[in-house]
Amino acid sequence: MRRRSGRERARAERADAEADGESGPRPMIEWDELSPEEQLALKRLNRGHDPHLDPATAERLLELGLAARRSQGIGISRAGRELVINVLLKSEA
């Protein structure tokens, strides 16, 4: 299997997001409002597909708009990625 470029991956994620209706604004949740399990799952999803993601945690992240259903399974949404990146940037400061 050939690895997709960043541009191809972004295009596929946009298409998945549009199909899932992810484009609309969602209420923002704070990092501290997530359980440690949800925080860990979101960090793992930020790195890529997590085949060991707990179904209950996945459903919760989907409900919060932090994850989205993708063709390859559950993936991180734009809101989820933004939340993780902001937390990572704050921890480096």
Q: Which residue has the higher pLDDT, 93 or 51?
A: 51
Over the chain, what is the mean pLDDT? 83
Q: Assess if residue 37 is contained within a domain.
A: yes
pLDDT band at 28, cuts 50/70/90? Answer: confident
Q: What is the pLDDT of residue 72?
A: 86
Q: Assess if residue 76 is contained within a domain.
A: yes
Q: What is the pLDDT of residue 30?
A: 94
Q: Quote the radius of gyration of the chain (alpha carbons, Å).
A: 13
What's the Cα-to-Cα distance from 66 to each of 20, 38, 59, rounded to whole Å? 13, 10, 10
pLDDT at 3 over 70: no
Domain range enclosing 85: 6-22+32-92
Q: Assess if residue 1 is contained within a domain.
A: no
- Report the distance separating Cα 49 and Cα 1, nearest Å: 16
What's the Cα-to-Cα distance from 92 to each of 38, 79, 86, rounded to whole Å? 21, 20, 10
pTM exceeds 0.95 for this model: no
- Report the distance separating Cα 19 and Cα 39, nearest Å: 25
Over residues 68-89, mean pLDDT? 94
